[in-house]
Structure 1
Amino acid sequence: MTDRHDILREIERKLLWLACWTVHNANNVREKTDGLKIGGHQASCASMVSMMTALYCSVLKPEDRVAVKPHASPVFHALQYLAGNQTREKLEAFRGYGGAQSYPSRTKDVDDVDFSTGSVGLGVAITAFASMVQDYLGEKAWAEKRPEGRMIALVGDAELDEGNVYEALQEGWKHGLRNTWWVIDYNRQSLDGVVREGLSQRIAAIFGAFGWDVVTLKYGALQRAAFDEPGGTRLKDWIDNCPNALYSALTFQGGAAWRKRLLDEIGDQGDATRLIESRSDAELQALMTNLGGHCQDTLIEAFEAIDHDRPVAFVAYTTKGWNTPLAGHKDNHGGIMTNAQMDAFRAAMSIREGHEWDMAEGLSIGAHEVRDFIRSRPFFAGGTRRTTAPRVATPGPVWLADKALATQGGFGKILDALAKSDHPLADRIVTTSPDVTVSTNLGPWVNRRGLFSREKIADTFREERVPSAQKWWFSKEGQHIELGIAEMNLFLLLGAAGLSHSLFGERLLPVGTLYDPFVMRGLDALNYACYQDARFLLIGTPSGVSLAPEGGAHQSVGTPLIGMSQDGLASFEPAFLDELSVVMDWAFDYMQRDGAGDPDERTWLRDETGGSVYLRLSTRAIEQPHGSPRKDAAFAQGVIDGAYWLREPGPNAEIVIAYQGVVAPEAIEAAGRIGQDRRDIGVLAVTSADRLNAGWHAAMRTRKRGQTGAMSQIERLLAGLPPHCTLITVIDGHPATLSWLGSVHGHRTVPLGVEHFGQTGTIADLYRHYGIDADAIVDAAHRITVGRPIRLAVSNA
């Protein structure tokens, strides 16, 4: 067999079998130990198998990048298995420990995954932002020129219910989106039922409004040929007017049901009747399910006809469960074939028992021909396509000499200093923000480095001599990507830019800013970016209730806990400028690391693996410590490890105040007042509860494995405290952020923080109201019955 289309149909057949068998094996063959349903989506795989065959085995090039519909994961794994990039053992362990993942994962699968998917809609939208990043790199003089790839999403039609898809469409329109294909599996079913009539027209209208080409693939070659027969026009009209639910039901019922319905409704004892009666039940079923999304000829012709770089939406009509016993049934989304159905499917596929995983079983071609053909396809010919990029050295901390300044202002000054420099690191920084560029102190950076656009756009206000502090000019050289007010888009862009080294072979250091409370508005996309191991620096500012006049809607309480719990994200909350300088320099290096993951035996953190970094900053200006900036190595190491002693406690310490972030002045004042009556007071400056907590847990796990000397940073810091010492923790955020410190060595702990929605007022009003001011700390110390009563000093705060 030498005809390409014949081989593609054989591969399509094999992928359908392997995808369905992989799910069946996991649920009905493999031993279960906990009684839970394993799950899988055989019907969703079946509706995608033709499109994935056509794309991967005929159309795609190595530079193309693909986000696979989450529920089509078994098809993807089967395709990679045929290409030699996936193992049988991992397919047999699908959805099991160490097996192929339920949804394609860049970090947990061994095969060639471009974009992780799973949270529906996000894998779709990130392709648009990846295309924008590709355009950004293509205009940079320092970037190697490479062939432009298409960023392709294989989209379930129900994914188009997700709002972030439409936010991305609008952002793409604003940036002149190119080289993006979304191939929509229009099977007209979702988890709970069948979609409403007329959705395809709405889809076409929406995409068209944003400048996309829309290609509708409704009829396969068999159907188009039938339409040319006498009576074919009546058949086409019937298909076009048939409700989605009825079409699905008839597909499930099969050829005899099709025959009865068609003869009843368009039978004319003439041409239309003869067209129907000339086909057997099996042929009629094949004809009526020969939709455009299942026809290799139709698909390849449509894909290969695109000769431009405009974004394209392919609306491919399909049948959910195509060519399986589940085809068309409204309950088939999470349905899995019974053993009897699988036996029937096995027979139809000509698969012998015991040969289910054989590469050419049931085919008219041999295993070598299958693998040789797939490996000869451009997409697979060069092997896996993940790229790398060298690390860019950091210049060292940018020290600031301000006597009093907010960390948000310090962030802006550090970036401005980098922008003025000619250090290679500065060229790799790309900033972005959802419409709060100036109010998050990115303004100086943008004024020096400009905004990115492939087309030059002048600053009209400047040309018209209208005074403005902002130089808002766009050019190819610009290093800020302007975004609208959509935090999901921010995190998707950070995710795409933070994978540039792996997707496009060029290193970018993305920096994104947003108001700290609105981290939660984009939390799904933030988690998604971290799950892919994207690398970026996230600036959440202003944080806490310190933005007092703005009220609860603009104040953040729970974000420190997000920073602690989010995998792949090292969270810091520096109080002082020199701490910020150290953290930012470290962050730009940490974002580029890709080590083996061996823990640092000093902290037990796996810093060599690298990751993203989140800084929780404030607009509250505070006085800097005497002798700042502190440039000694021990100070810098403590900042990065998560904490250091601002005031080291004595051997008989009764109280230690541990603070994180902008409440440093309150903690310092309270320590001075308490110290008049309590012995050996200590003040612990926590810069990262996240890293302290992670190191503590890692050290405990290491001790359980027999390495009894393992000790984390926080264990060392608190080791010398006497048993009777009490920890008072304070943060402009949720008190649980630091309340765990008492568990390290069993010290009594009084956690202070904010637990409820904020309100308007002054900082003094709110700190007093929520009990995080100096008086509240002193009062907490007074209430601790560890000795003689404390004599309260008068507060001038």
Structure 2
Amino acid sequence: MSVSHLKTVERRLLWLSHWMIHHANHIRPNPDGIKVGGHQASSASMVSIMTALYFSALRPQDRVAVKPHASPVFHAMQYLMGNQTRDKLEAFRGYGGAQSYPSRTKDVDDVDFSTGSVGLGVAMTAFASIMQDYVRAKTWGAAVPEGRMVALVGDAEMDEGNVYECLQEGWKNDLRNCWWIIDYNRQSLDGVVREGLWGRIEKIFDAFGWEVVRLKYGRLQRAAFAEPGGAALRDWIDACPNQLYSALTFQGGKVWRKRLMDDLGDQGEVSALIERRSDDELAALMENLGGNCVDTMAEAFAAIDHDRPTCFLAYTIKGWGTPIAGHKDNHGGLMTKAQMAEWQRHMGVAEGAEWDLFETVPDVPAFRAFLDQVPFFRQGARRHASAPVAVPALAAPKDREISTQMAFGKILDGIARSDGPLAERIITTSPDVTGTTSLGPWVNRRKLFARSPQEDLFRKAQIPSTAKWDFAPDGQHLELGIAEMNLFLALAAAGLSHSLFGERLLPIGTVYDPFVARGHDALNYACYQDARFLIVGTPSGVTLAPEGGAHQSIGTPLVGISQPGLTSFEPAFADELSVIMEWAFEHLQAEEGGSVYLRLSTNPIEQIGPRSDEGFRQGVLDGAYWLRPPGPNCEVVLVYQGTVAPEVIAAAGFLADARRDIGVLAVTSADRLHAQWSSALVERARGGAQQLSPVERLLAGVPRDCALVTALDGHPLALSWLGSVSGHRVIPLGVAAFGQTGTIQDLYRHFRIDRDAIWQAVEQLTPGRRLRSA
């Protein structure tokens, strides 16, 4: 490692990252007139850390989550290494340009983990490390190189609760090969971090088995401490409040001198230590904290010779090396044009050479040779691929009466018994609801994952139990505590295994459907970076009647429709579910695929019988099919999604004698119907293909004056949009308020999604044609 070359990289990244932001805000045309932003000060505090990490410590198998506000440094680094283009940097935060925050799916450079919603990228590294151990414990993954999962963390991110939830899960799963490097600049968006906070945070890390490495002083400071009087200077630095240190940094060398002499003057040796330095040298000394000293950081990284989780607390100056260093308002602040011009002269960058890669580099050939040998970049792009796993036909359970939740468990158990390629690549996980979401049979057959075997003491003592929970390296279920954020982060990490480690996993997570919302931020994060997984929300809706409103979901059908990268289904029958699951496993692996969400129920309903024709199958996957096709004189179509199917079918049977040619439309995915309809509208507006979408074809034969009565155990908006397709009148039935305890029929009656409410809704269409009571 050449410290001089590291210093050159550091200087280049500092300049390029700040020029990129300045160009976006002050040079590039801005027709909106709104500040573009870009976090110059937050980037500056990370430059030394990222230089030491990427250019001295990392290997190709290591993976990094870069803190969101250091995105400009990341893009500048990739530009320096030839992995990013100038036009992308000139368009930073603009259309088609380098992204505001590192993105696996939007950026062209080599992003390992997307970041943006603070704290999530941090916790993601812990779950990626656990998944790496999971893959390497399997016979088919033993050859995967062991890498470190690294998070570059803003100190304000430590306010995020999901970070601490993750620490607990890491301890339970024997976390290793995980580094968190905290940019401890002690400033956040709204102010300065409170004194003494880190001491308490450090105790938390220690409690969960992490090694904590404090990097408070840089090389210049450590050398000064060794001089006569240095101990007094060190004591002053240690006692200085965060706000005062920041303010003095902004004010500069003359003010530093006055304050230090006021506090430490006339003490002989320490006064001489201060007087030996010019104002600029004194400012450089006081700003030489550990995190702003590239060689200090490189030495700290190189000193780690174990795989225990390690937290580096790197003290930094926010805005280090720039005119706005230390100012309380610098989080979102920018250098003015005048400040940038003066700083450009200070950095020695000639006008017109702002984007030049090697501007100000003293020995370009030697520097190029150094860059060519940096281990992390030598292999080029570090994204892997994994061949698709063949998906066999999945048989539906043959029970005459069964819930979709139970059918899911039986289909998964059938896969477990088959012991084929599909079974061996599935990993399941659940936040302490494994048994109550029908994963029990799978876990009994495939065991729980742990790096070291753990015996089931209940089985050893011959105590009867339905749960045969053996922990072993070849286990295929990761048991989590009650934290839905952890669930979705674990699914995100497992769902990127093919790209991160070159070995494909097919993750399945189960969660109580109402608590999807508790992890929605992490769900969105997982989908944003194109992680592939199957999430099963069950039980759902007010059908979980005795549990009351706290355990009854209302808006989750809308979550499924509105979440990009996630295709949602809500089947009513077991044969529908088997078709959907078979498709889902293929969709998880398809190049243009994504993740899948199943909204299932605990309510056992009578099955229609096995249906296996291609028309049925295609209808299920398109999102809807005619359970009862409408006739030419149809006055009303009943539309349902999910477990209310028996109520709608019963209402249709009752109405058949009084209403001509009544139709029943079975919706399995309002999401798929809406997505394909929207795509067709856009394509036609652009002058493209004039093909009808599946929902348009389904409703094409329904008379315009026919009405649709829609029903589901969820928010009625999930189906009420169907009236917009062909202009039909809609009476939407569903749940739009918090539920209460009771029987299923009590709650169906209360929310008017029972059979009586359905035929009464039909009666409203033509007042005067009274029907006898159902």
Q: In the alignment, which residue of structure 2 is the partner of 1:467?
A: 464
SS at match of 1:430: strand
Q: In the alignment, which residue of structure 2 is the partner of 1:597?
A: none
Question: Is residue 379 of structure 1 aligned with residue 389 of structure 2?
Answer: no
Conserved 8 A contact 1:82-1:359: yes
Aligned with 1:555 (options 545, 552, 557): 552
Aligned with 2:108 (options 107, 110, 123): 110
Q: How does 1:235-314 map to 2 (within 5 A)?
A: 235-314=233-312
Aligned with 2:315 (options 294, 301, 317): 317
Question: Is residue 48 of structure 1 aligned with residue 31 of structure 2?
Answer: no
**Which amino acid is 2:541 matched to?**
G
Q: Cα distance, 1:362 vs. partner? A: 2.3
Q: Percent identity?
A: 68
Question: Is residue 527 of structure 1 aligned with residue 555 of structure 2?
Answer: no
**CA distance in 2: counterparts of 1:135 and 1:316, whole angstroms:** 28
Q: In the alignment, which residue of structure 1 is the partner of 2:721?
A: 740
Q: Cα distance, 1:566 vs. partner? A: 0.2
Conserved 8 A contact 1:395-1:423: no
Question: Is residue 620 of structure 1 aligned with residue 617 of structure 2?
Answer: no
5+ long unaligned stretches in structure 1: 595-608
Q: Cα distance, 1:708 vs. partner? A: 5.4
Question: Is residue 593 of structure 1 aligned with residue 593 of structure 2?
Answer: no
Conserved 8 A contact 2:396-2:407: no
Q: In the alignment, which residue of structure 1 is the partner of 2:342?
A: 344
Aligned with 1:209 (options 204, 207, 213): 207
* Counterparts in 2 of 1:790 and 1:142: CA distance versus 1, 3 Å: farther
Question: Is residue 389 of structure 1 aligned with residue 374 of structure 2?
Answer: no
Q: In the alignment, which residue of structure 2 is the partner of 1:151?
A: 149
Conserved 8 A contact 2:452-2:473: yes
**CA distance in 1: counterparts of 2:459 and 2:241, whole angstroms:** 58
Report Cα offsets for 1:562-595 as digits up to 9, x if no partner: 000000000000000000000011101100011x
Output the TM-score relative to the length of structure 1.
Answer: 0.96
* Counterparts in 2 of 1:370 and 1:102: CA distance versus 1, 3 Å: farther
Report Cα offsets for 1:287-320 as digits up to 9, x if no partner: 0000000112211111001000000000000000
SS at match of 1:783: helix
**Which amino acid is 1:615 matched to?**
L
Q: Cα distance, 1:363 vs. partner? A: 2.5
**CA distance in 2: counterparts of 1:761 and 1:415, whole angstroms:** 31
Q: Cα distance, 1:369 vs. partner? A: 4.5
**Relative to structure 2, which stretch is displaced further, 577-586 or 193-202?**
193-202
Report Cα offsets for 1:141-162 as digits up to 9, x if no partner: 1225122000000000000000
Q: In the alignment, which residue of structure 2 is the partner of 1:494?
A: 491
Q: Cα distance, 1:789 vs. partner? A: 4.2
**CA distance in 1: counterparts of 2:171 and 2:367, whole angstroms:** 41
**Relative to structure 2, which stretch is displaced further, 335-344 or 371-380?**
371-380
Conserved 8 A contact 2:396-2:577: no
**CA distance in 2: counterparts of 1:775 and 1:195, whole angstroms:** 60
SS at match of 1:659: strand
SS at match of 2:188: coil
Aligned with 2:751 (options 770, 786, 792): 770
Q: Cα distance, 1:375 vs. partner? A: 3.2
**Which amino acid is 2:492 matched to?**
G
**CA distance in 1: counterparts of 2:562 and 2:598, whole angstroms:** 14
**CA distance in 2: counterparts of 1:10 and 1:508, whole angstroms:** 41
Q: In the alignment, which residue of structure 2 is the partner of 1:749?
A: 730
Conserved 8 A contact 1:509-1:588: yes
Q: In the alignment, which residue of structure 1 is the partner of 2:693?
A: 712
**CA distance in 2: counterparts of 1:525 and 1:774, whole angstroms:** 38
Conserved 8 A contact 2:402-2:604: yes
Conserved 8 A contact 1:214-1:312: yes
Q: In the alignment, which residue of structure 2 is the partner of 1:129?
A: 127
Conserved 8 A contact 1:82-1:371: no
Report Cα offsets for 1:194-245 as digits up to 9, x if no partner: 1111122222211111000000000001000000000000000000000000
Output the TM-score relative to the length of structure 2.
Answer: 0.99
SS at match of 1:750: strand
Q: How does 1:307-456 map to 2 (within 5 A)?
A: 307-366=305-364, 369-456=366-453
**CA distance in 2: counterparts of 1:164 and 1:76, whole angstroms:** 24
**Which amino acid is 1:9 matched to?**
K
Conserved 8 A contact 2:144-2:502: no
**CA distance in 1: counterparts of 2:511 and 2:756, whole angstroms:** 32
**Which amino acid is 1:244 matched to?**
N
Conserved 8 A contact 1:48-1:72: yes
Q: In the alignment, which residue of structure 2 is the partner of 1:792?
A: 771
**Which amino acid is 1:417 matched to?**
G
Conserved 8 A contact 1:200-1:315: no
5+ long unaligned stretches in structure 2: none
Report Cα offsets for 1:6-62 as digits up to 9, x if no partner: 011011001000111111100000001111111110000000000000011111000
**CA distance in 2: counterparts of 1:571 and 1:391, whole angstroms:** 22
Report Cα offsets for 1:327-379 as digits up to 9, x if no partner: 0001000001000110111011111111100011123232x554442232111
**CA distance in 1: counterparts of 2:450 and 2:272, whole angstroms:** 60
**CA distance in 2: counterparts of 1:768 and 1:562, whole angstroms:** 25
**CA distance in 1: counterparts of 2:454 and 2:7, whole angstroms:** 50
**CA distance in 2: counterparts of 1:239 and 1:629, whole angstroms:** 76
Q: How does 1:184-195 map to 2 (within 5 A)?
A: 184-195=182-193
Conserved 8 A contact 1:677-1:791: no
Q: In the alignment, which residue of structure 1 is the partner of 2:661?
A: 680
**Relative to structure 2, which stretch is displaced further, 267-276 or 252-261?**
267-276
**CA distance in 2: counterparts of 1:169 and 1:793, whole angstroms:** 62
Q: In the alignment, which residue of structure 2 is the partner of 1:569?
A: 566
SS at match of 1:517: helix
Q: Cα distance, 1:387 vs. partner? A: 0.5
Q: In the alignment, which residue of structure 1 is the partner of 2:593?
A: 610
Aligned with 2:35 (options 31, 34, 37): 37
Aligned residue-pair number: 774
Q: How does 1:168-207 map to 2 (within 5 A)?
A: 168-207=166-205
**Which amino acid is 1:672 matched to?**
G
Q: In the alignment, which residue of structure 1 is the partner of 2:58?
A: 60
**CA distance in 1: counterparts of 2:697 and 2:177, whole angstroms:** 54
Q: In the alignment, which residue of structure 2 is the partner of 1:540?
A: 537
Report Cα offsets for 1:733-764 as digits up to 9, x if no partner: 00000000000000111100000011111110
SS at match of 2:413: helix
**CA distance in 1: counterparts of 2:34 and 2:234, whole angstroms:** 45
**Which amino acid is 1:616 matched to?**
R
The alignment yields a C-alpha RMSD, in angstroms, of 0.9
**CA distance in 2: counterparts of 1:543 and 1:29, whole angstroms:** 53
SS at match of 1:478: coil
Conserved 8 A contact 2:408-2:577: yes
Conserved 8 A contact 1:400-1:629: no
Report Cα offsets for 1:505-529 as digits up to 9, x if no partner: 0000000000000000000000000
**CA distance in 2: counterparts of 1:174 and 1:211, whole angstroms:** 10
Q: In the alignment, which residue of structure 1 is the partner of 2:742?
A: 761
Conserved 8 A contact 1:82-1:370: no
Q: In the alignment, which residue of structure 2 is the partner of 1:231?
A: 229
**CA distance in 1: counterparts of 2:221 and 2:704, whole angstroms:** 82
**Which amino acid is 1:509 matched to?**
L
SS at match of 1:142: helix
Q: In the alignment, which residue of structure 2 is the partner of 1:142?
A: 140
Report Cα offsets for 1:548-574 as digits up to 9, x if no partner: 000000000000000000000000000
Report Cα offsets for 1:270-294 as digits up to 9, x if no partner: 1010000000000000000000001
Aligned with 2:98 (options 100, 110, 113): 100
Conserved 8 A contact 2:451-2:473: yes
